[in-house]
Chains A and B, each alone.
Chain A
Amino acid sequence: DAKTTQPPSMDCAEGRAANLPCNHSTISGNEYVYWYRQIHSQGPQYIIHGLKNNETNEMASLIITEDRKSSTLILPHATLRDTAVYYCIVRVGGGTSYGKLTFGQGTILTVHP
């Protein structure tokens, strides 16, 4: 699976949008971009995933560049409860494929009052 690069930490003011970048310049055509987050001492939580089109759900939006070499996770109105480590992962398949999730170091997002 392609390697990803994320900034080690970011800050955001409560109520503002949090934009978390991820570089995956070696991504293959059949690899999806997944985002998970882990709040302290809990298991990771699935946020969103996409292949090439932008995606939006109740938690966040995922913007993938046209060349698919980078993406941005957007939390539109960050709250204190969004403080967590955010992991960007690329892996094969989004349906019945088998790909494993390989976690990097992620980005520590701290939301300030």
Chain B
Amino acid sequence: GAVVSQHPSWVICKSGTSVKIECRSLDFQATTMFWYRQFPKQSLMLMATSNEGSKATYEQGVEKDKFLINHASLTLSTLTVTSAHPEDSSFYICSARDLIGTGSGEQYFGPGTRLTVT
């Protein structure tokens, strides 16, 4: 149980275009999802917290107009990188909190999406 999927697993896009990454909780409902970014040989950095049906809360230094987050249902959150630049190339990872199933409030992570902007 507690499986989180991401799609796509990797994507290459041209500079200036937008790319959407999906995060789904497959066997539980998640009122809260989190989006992280990880550059090579660095740790995960939290970008934003996404609550179903409300606006996302962004961490300091993360541009909300560039990284659009939508959490329209209890099992799906999307991250759209708008007007991508090469410096946005990174490993994007989502996680979801299981608050309804076991009630443990644990975060379960997706497998990540490797974004390369050329």
B108 contacts A46, C-beta separation under 8 Å: yes
| Number of inter-chain CB pairs below 8 Å | 53
The reply to whether B106 and A46 form a contact with Cβ atoms under 8 Å apart is yes
Q: Check A97 for interface membership: any CB of B closer than 8 A.
A: yes
B93 touches A94 (CB 8 A): no
Looking at chain B's contact residues, the main secondary structure is: strand
Interface size class of B (residues with CB under 8 A): 20 to 34
Q: Of B32, B103, B104, B109, which is within 8 A of A43 by CB?
A: B109
Instruction: Give per-residue flags for B89-109: 1 if the beta carbon is below 8 A from chain A beta carbons, else 0.
Output: 001010100010001111111
Question: Which of A36, A87, A97 makes the CB contact (< 8 A) with B105?
Answer: A97
Cβ 8 A contact of B49, one of A38, A94, A97, A100 = A100
Q: Could you show 6 A-B contacts with beta carbons less than 8 Å apart?
A: A42-B112, A44-B93, A96-B99, A96-B105, A98-B32, A103-B43
Q: How far is the CA of A44 from the CA of B106 in the complex (A)?
A: 12
Residue of A nearest to B59 (CB): A100
Q: Which residues of B contact A94 (CB under 8 A)?
A: 104-105
Chain A, 61-107, CB within 8 A of any chain B CB: 87, 93-98, 100-106
Instruction: For A96, list chain B residues within 8 Å (CB).
Output: 99, 103, 105
| Bound Cα distance from A56 to B76, whole angstroms | 32
Q: Does A44 lie within 8 Å of B91, measured CB to CB?
A: no
**B34 lies within 8 A of chain A by Cβ:** yes
CA distance A60 to B95 in the complex (A): 22
Q: Which residue of A lies closest to B43 (CB)?
A: A103
Asked if B93 contacts A43 (CB within 8 A), the reply is yes
Mask of B32-54 contacts with A, CB within 8 angstroms, 1/0? 10101000000111100100000
Measured in the bound complex, the distance between the Cα atoms of B44 and A94 in whole Å is 21
Nearest opposing residue in chain A for B9, CB measure = A41
A45 is an interface residue with CB less than 8 A from chain B: yes
With A101-B46, A103-B44 already in contact, the answer to whether A95 and B109 are too (CB < 8 A) is no
Name the residue on B nearest A105 (C-beta): B43
Residues of B16-34 whose CB lies within 8 A of A = 32, 34
Top 6 nearest A-B pairs (CB, nearest first) are A43-B109, A103-B44, A103-B43, A44-B109, A43-B112, A43-B93
| A43 close to B110 (CB less than 8 A) | yes
